[in-house]
Structure 1
């Protein structure tokens, strides 16, 4: 029996702001809940009910989270008329069994699907079979979470073995790149992307400038945060 999804927001049309599909027109499904608590999280309203993130705001789950039937979410996403659907969070793979009916229906309508995940959950085989692409963003030590929570070897090995997976690391400056290098080597990660930390356009640009040369030198890919450059810290864009 299908279960409702716990949704934070659905919005579009917009563009994918990060990684290999940056700039592509898309619609977003943002799910609620996360198993991590990154201090710098740019979507604390999906999980931070006590004000532990840098925002210091205790968000109200009664306002932010909504139980919605799959059929309703499907209809809203299809109405945007985009070829690409991005499923984000929070941590969407915390609800991945509930996502399977939605993903199957979207694929039947010819949609491409990317799921943004923190890499602590192995992907459900049914999502893999549906052709979902996984944008995996393992968290570094500056996130504030202990390593045993943010680095789950079995999950990373599962995701690294999937065709089309990319690995995106949020970095502040070149000192973070050594930590990334350790994870890339330990888990034999390919398609590595480095993204600057920042909730505002000025912050993103400053950190991007500090990282760019070293990222290129290491042979990795560089991504900005396009949605932040365009709309700053505005939600649902």
Structure 2
């Protein structure tokens, strides 16, 4: 059974420093890339936050939320905004990807983090499932959102994973790309329905798979149909390059 630790909006330490619940940070000590979506292949730093509001069966980061399999005391820690900004500032890489889990669960604490990252010359991409609308304070130059709504075929309950008002808020921001994981051409039909209903654009499709062989096979299943719809197609670079190893 999965449970979420309550997170108080805007919580700060006794010294006034904001902190976040973090699963892992990587990309400074061992360089890596953004592996998916519009910035695929760009050198990147990753701040992976812990906790999620969904429980998707095919999730590849269950260590951020599935406490039936993982120990939250071992898989997460509290880190201050100042520590995270200093860590990112130690690298010349300009792109910081804030991912999860679902990072926008901690949205109010993210405001000072994003401000700090922008101040030291970084740009920020959020990887989000699109169920939580972005705060107006996050809709600024230097911030982008890779919104990945989860379909039933991904093991999600669409009544929870598809939130029309949130998706439409991201679309209206003009700062979002919509990245869907797909396994079959039938998934593309469902994506088309959602894109039309909520005016989602641009649409990116990413082949489902946790091994290079699976990604390649699914790519070949989907490629012609994605091209016919004039959508964007992205691979999963971390799977192809690093065998989906954590921290890469």
Instruction: Please classify the TM superposition score into its range, dividing by the shorter chain length.
Output: over 0.9
**SS of 1:73 mapped into structure 2:** helix
CA displacement 1:197-224 (0-9 Å, x = unmatched): 1111111111111101100001101000
TM-fit CA distance, 1:145: 2.6
Rounded Cα–Cα distance in structure 1 between residues aligned with 2:88 and 2:60 = 23
Q: Which residue of 2 aligns with 1:53?
A: none
Are 2:55 and 1:37 aligned? yes
Give 1:80 shift: 2.4
Name the TM-score, length of structure 2 as normaliser: 0.90
Unaligned runs of 5+ in 1: 51-57
**Distance (whole Å) between structure 2 residues aligned to residue 152 and residue 2 of structure 1:** 32
The equivalences for 1:65-214 within 5 A come to 65-129=76-140, 131-214=142-225
Deviations 1:22-70 (A, max 9, x none): 00001000000000011111111111111xxxxxxx0110100101111
CA distance in 1, matches of 2:95, 2:132: 23
Larger deviation: 76-85 or 221-230?
A: 76-85
Structure 2, unaligned stretches of length 5 or more?
1-15
Shift of 1:130: 5.2
Partners in 2 of 1:182 and 1:153 — Cα distance?
12
The one of 14, 27, 33 equivalent to 1:15 is 33
Give 1:232's aligned residue.
243
CA distance in 2, matches of 1:9, 1:81: 19
C-alpha displacement of 1:164:
2.8
**Count of residues paired in the alignment:** 230
- For the 8 Å contact 2:210–2:244, the answer to whether it is kept is yes
Shift of 1:129: 2.8
Partner SS for 1:234: coil
CA deviation digits over 1:3-36, x for unaligned, max 9? 3100000000310000110000010000000000
Match of 1:5 among 6, 20, 35: 20
